[in-house]
Structure 1
Amino acid sequence: MIDTARPTPRAASAPPRRIPTPPAEPLEVAARRRRRAGRRRAAVTDLLGVLAWASAAFAVALWLASPGSHSVSGIGGVLTDAGIVAGLVATDLVLVMLVLAARVPLIDRVFGQDNAIAVHRSLGEPVLYLLLAHGVLLTLGYGASSGTGPIAETVQLFSTPDMPLAYLALGLFVAVVVSSLVAVRRRLPYEAWHVVHLLSYAAVLVALPHMLSVGSVLGQGTWQRVYWIAAYVVALGLVVVHRFVLPVVVSLRHRIRVVAVEPIAPGVVSIHLAGRDLDRLGARGGQYGVWRFWSARTWWHAHPVSFSAVPGRDRARITVRDLGAGSARLGRIRPGTAVSLEGPYGLFTSRARTAPYLALVASGIGITPVRALLEDTDLRPGEATVLLRGTDADQQYLWQETAELAAATGSALFAMVGHRARSQESWMTEDDLRRGVTLRSVFPRLLESDLYVCGPREWSDLVVREARLAGVPEHQIHQERFAS
């Protein structure tokens, strides 16, 4: 049930940093400033979406404007041209997907890496259908034009130079998309799923030769050829720079090492890190990094984990729950182990605020970004309200630290302990549901608040659903979903 009592500490923890003096700027003035910044971010986000689809339209327009590159004659010509358009749009969207997954800082700042990956995933099935349509329509179109059947035409195409690579690329894309389906992904170990996804880069590369050599669509000396080569260079270049080169530079510059592994609850550890000038990482409370621990059993597995405290000059901390074989190994990491980092990433920070008040809701290991966000935000007394939820006493990770931060900032703190209600679908306990507890009763200024929610996916979705039904504007809802 909901209780305003401070949580009992589960383990000794690093003390929270000193809270800065609250700014003199009035709440309403600060809220107007944040709303203006939010509108600017929304405008840039919309622009990025428009540019993504405009690039596909531009690719088709280039093809339509190229003299002699297409001609519709009979059913064969119609099918062939339709297949070419499907292929152009699919290839362009594949490159857009690569850019969205490249962890480009500009995209993260204005769009959020989680949102970018959500769009990346949403494009997977349409791209697959377009690629399949590309292959089927071209086969039927060529066959109709030459008077051969689909099977004979497929054999003929397969014997054409570079076409076996095209079929290989299609097979790789099918494997990537199928492995991304929720039902399949839950059955695959993370390592296997990650290896399959790395094949998407191979698929993009092996598809390029047939684009440049087969047919006249991207013939020598055409603007289309220039466009596609430039698009490939930009997309793959961003992936190489931001996924491989920059993490190496960051890791060498900051020389991050594990200094201690602290158990704080069954299956949960805080990993204390040391390094050089870690405050210059630019990490904000609520952000996460992609961590790789260079030990014999963990070097091949990257872990997206939130900072559980704002990094200092030479110290940082993450808190990890055992959610599988990979994360379980982190509890046995030895001090001195070298660590590399991609990031920090994420918009789950005070920079995303647009409203005068702050409502923080966390469940389970979702406490980590919420605790860091609270530490990193300048607050007046009464400006923030925090609700922590755990199934039992063993799930009260970092609650004592959060309570101390709340007390230091004059923030209200509530605790909800117990199993979720069984009588109906709800994010609350049975007792709280029976007593009529709602988000509005916990957060009286809910409609004037930015709501930050972090916890297991199903639970956090229910919290957000109630917030939307209560009338909280979409731009005031900030959600970070963790695995259960």
Structure 2
Amino acid sequence: MSTFHARAHRPTRSSRGAHGLNRLPVAEQRRRRQRGRMRSADLLATACWSSVAVAVALFLASGGAQVTDVASGLTVAGIVAGLVATDLILVMVLLAARVPLIDRAVGQDSAMVLHRRLGKPVLYLVLGHVVLVTLGYARSDGVGFVDESGMLLSGSDLVLALIGTILLILVVATSIVAVRRRFPYEVWQGIHLLSYAAVFFALPHQLSSGMVLATGTWQRVYWIALYVLVFGAIAWYRLTVPVIRTLRHRIRVEAVEAVAPGVFSIHLSGRDLDRLGALGGQYAIWRFWTAGTWWHAHPVSFSAVPNRTSARITVRELGAGTGRLGLLAPGTPVSIEGPYGIFTPMTRTSPKLAIVAAGIGVTPVRALLEHSTLEAGEVTAVLRGTEHGHLYLWDEMEELTVRRGGMLYAMFGRRPPGSETWLSAEAASRGVTLLSVFPDLFQSDLYVCGPTRWAMLVVRDAREAGLREEQIHLERFDW
């Protein structure tokens, strides 16, 4: 494993303070922030599952769950499945609303992972609702499943509900990773927006069902309030706030700078950009208003911490959409959603900082390092590249690391064939491990960013070494 211009500075007494007494307030602040995030995450999880429990409890308390025979048992089971499915769909929509409280507690990437995981269970519940209710009604009416389906679909509300179910099946089917990769991002995103339509198509059927949501009942109040809360959050955080922020800061493209083949930095100018509140390591959703780019929103990390008048993002060309960004002209208007993410210094729990980044994953860690408060010798970083042409912003990482008296390592080359490791073949052959690179790993927070499968191998090694979960910070690019 080769050292990339690594330097080390010995900490001085003046920089650390006598006996490290200046360490206590910082450590206490970190512990309090961590406890606050954990409490917020627990409260959010409790609120989500409590909403499901309340939905079922209100139905049971209404007296509608009277099971006297097989037919009524099937019907009640189907209604409960439908209520749980609807509640979880609204939870999914809320997770995608980019609510700041959710982002600060668990991070938008984790919220979207949970959003995606709920997709299949929700679909199974919806299908179970349709089948069970139809079977229950068919048995009660003494007709077959097909005949009962025809009678139910004679009502316009249930036709709309069927359309909503079909849309939901389409959304879930195209969200499967193997399927999603076959679609351009814009097509997949457009299909995914149909989930909102699916909810609205199901709403008339839900409200017209006197057995479940009769006028004047607490159930009706609960569901209407839940719909207003969720879609109000979407309207405010996904639409209104980004428009206000864009108009306030008046962001424009200042220049586009080539960093490496297929990689370029977009320098941005604007008004009071420091008031965006962006932390090192965060990202935003960017939209560039030209004829060829306005319809594509790009989630891209800040590669430098914004100051009052300027900001910078660094982009790797991954397709036609990102390729067009390299041709942006100075003066192009830019809209912004965000900043988002908890891959920041604010999530640190330990005195030292360990960084592992590969490819374009260097961009958020470069801003993270810039924004971190560190004393001499408290940072160690590993930058990983398949070849020497992958040195995106490595010179800036070197400068920032050396300035803090830290160590910066470079690791080049492909991984050993057939081996599940994040190391290069050379490093693996020399017996390099995560602990040999970071001897103070257990006194460090580990920040990992790069291709997801590779990054998960780093995280795996950290967990196997015994590093606590709260010390591991992963930035995902695939959610």
Report if aligned partners of 1:279, 1:313 keep a CA contact under 8 Å in 2.
yes
CA deviation string 1:98-157 (max 9, x = no partner): 111100011111121111111111111111110010101011011011111110011111
Which stretch has the larger CA shift, 80-89 or 33-42?
A: 33-42
- 1:474 to 2:474 alignment: no
Superposed displacement of residue 30, structure 1: 2.6
Report if aligned partners of 1:23, 1:378 keep a CA contact under 8 Å in 2.
no
CA deviation string 1:62-103 (max 9, x = no partner): 011113x33212111000000000000010011111111100
Superposed displacement of residue 29, structure 1: 5.0
Superposed displacement of residue 481, structure 1: 2.2
Of 391, 399, 402, 2:394 maps to 399
Report if aligned partners of 2:6, 2:402 keep a CA contact under 8 Å in 1.
no
CA deviation string 1:211-231 (max 9, x = no partner): 011342101111100110010
Q: Which amino acid aligns with 1:48?
A: L
Identity within the alignment, %: 59
Q: Which amino acid aligns with 2:413?
A: G
Report if aligned partners of 2:6, 2:407 keep a CA contact under 8 Å in 1.
no
Q: Counterpart in 2 of 1:199?
A: 194
The TM-score, its normalising length taken from structure 2, stands at: 0.96
Alpha-carbon distance in 2 for matches of 1:54, 1:119: 17
Alpha-carbon distance in 2 for matches of 1:483, 1:177: 17
Q: Which amino acid aligns with 2:197?
A: A
Report if aligned partners of 1:272, 1:318 keep a CA contact under 8 Å in 2.
yes
Report if aligned partners of 1:6, 1:400 keep a CA contact under 8 Å in 2.
no
What is the DSSP-based 3-state SS (H/G/I as helix, E as strand, rest coil) of the residue aligned with 2:290? coil
Q: Counterpart in 2 of 1:464?
A: 459
Q: Which amino acid aligns with 2:362?
A: I
Q: Counterpart in 1 of 2:180?
A: 185
Of 303, 307, 321, 2:316 maps to 321
Q: Which amino acid aligns with 2:32?
A: R
Superposed displacement of residue 33, structure 1: 3.2
Judged with a 3 Å threshold, the aligned counterparts in structure 2 of structure 1 residues 218 and 380 are, in CA distance, closer, same or farther, namely same
Q: Counterpart in 1 of 2:344?
A: 349
Q: Counterpart in 2 of 1:79?
A: 74
Which stretch has the larger CA shift, 212-221 or 424-433?
A: 212-221
Alpha-carbon distance in 2 for matches of 1:316, 1:363: 22
- 1:5 to 2:1 alignment: no
Report if aligned partners of 2:109, 2:476 keep a CA contact under 8 Å in 1.
no
Alpha-carbon distance in 2 for matches of 1:43, 1:178: 34
Superposed displacement of residue 32, structure 1: 4.0
Superposed displacement of residue 396, structure 1: 0.4
Counterparts of 1:51-450 in structure 2 under 5 Å? 51-67=47-63, 69-450=64-445
Q: Which amino acid aligns with 1:189?
A: P
What is the DSSP-based 3-state SS (H/G/I as helix, E as strand, rest coil) of the residue aligned with 1:317? strand
Which stretch has the larger CA shift, 77-86 or 404-413?
A: 404-413
Superposed displacement of residue 39, structure 1: 2.1
Alpha-carbon distance in 2 for matches of 1:23, 1:90: 55
Q: Which amino acid aligns with 1:5?
A: H
Alpha-carbon distance in 2 for matches of 1:468, 1:384: 20
Superposed displacement of residue 23, structure 1: 8.0
What is the DSSP-based 3-state SS (H/G/I as helix, E as strand, rest coil) of the residue aligned with 1:162? helix
Alpha-carbon distance in 2 for matches of 1:248, 1:398: 31
**Unaligned runs of at least 5 residues, structure 1:** 8-20
Alpha-carbon distance in 2 for matches of 1:184, 1:353: 37
Alpha-carbon distance in 2 for matches of 1:423, 1:56: 45
Report if aligned partners of 2:379, 2:407 keep a CA contact under 8 Å in 1.
yes
Report if aligned partners of 1:363, 1:456 keep a CA contact under 8 Å in 2.
yes
What is the DSSP-based 3-state SS (H/G/I as helix, E as strand, rest coil) of the residue aligned with 1:216? helix
Q: Which amino acid aligns with 1:343?
A: G
Alpha-carbon distance in 1 for matches of 2:138, 2:270: 63
Q: Which amino acid aligns with 2:161?
A: A
Superposed displacement of residue 171, structure 1: 0.6
Alpha-carbon distance in 1 for matches of 2:45, 2:478: 28
Runs of 4+ residues over 3 Å off in structure 1: 21-29
Alpha-carbon distance in 1 for matches of 2:16, 2:212: 60
Report if aligned partners of 1:306, 1:369 keep a CA contact under 8 Å in 2.
yes
Alpha-carbon distance in 1 for matches of 2:210, 2:65: 10
What is the DSSP-based 3-state SS (H/G/I as helix, E as strand, rest coil) of the residue aligned with 1:169? helix
Q: Counterpart in 2 of 1:31?
A: 27
Report if aligned partners of 1:421, 1:427 keep a CA contact under 8 Å in 2.
no
Alpha-carbon distance in 1 for matches of 2:290, 2:207: 43
Report if aligned partners of 1:35, 1:355 keep a CA contact under 8 Å in 2.
no
Alpha-carbon distance in 2 for matches of 1:74, 1:282: 60
Of 22, 42, 46, 1:46 maps to 42
Alpha-carbon distance in 1 for matches of 2:157, 2:176: 30
Which stretch has the larger CA shift, 160-169 or 282-291?
A: 160-169
Q: Which amino acid aligns with 1:39?
A: R
What is the DSSP-based 3-state SS (H/G/I as helix, E as strand, rest coil) of the residue aligned with 2:383? strand
The TM-score, its normalising length taken from structure 1, stands at: 0.95
What is the DSSP-based 3-state SS (H/G/I as helix, E as strand, rest coil) of the residue aligned with 2:450? strand
What is the DSSP-based 3-state SS (H/G/I as helix, E as strand, rest coil) of the residue aligned with 1:159? coil
CA deviation string 1:2-60 (max 9, x = no partner): 324269xxxxxxxxxxxxx9786644653343123212211220111111011000000
Report if aligned partners of 2:284, 2:338 keep a CA contact under 8 Å in 1.
yes
Q: Which amino acid aligns with 1:323?
A: L
Alpha-carbon distance in 2 for matches of 1:2, 1:457: 24
Q: Which amino acid aligns with 2:366?
A: R
Report if aligned partners of 2:6, 2:406 keep a CA contact under 8 Å in 1.
no
Report if aligned partners of 1:22, 1:379 keep a CA contact under 8 Å in 2.
no
Alpha-carbon distance in 2 for matches of 1:287, 1:22: 28
CA deviation string 1:269-297 (max 9, x = no partner): 10000000000000000000011111111
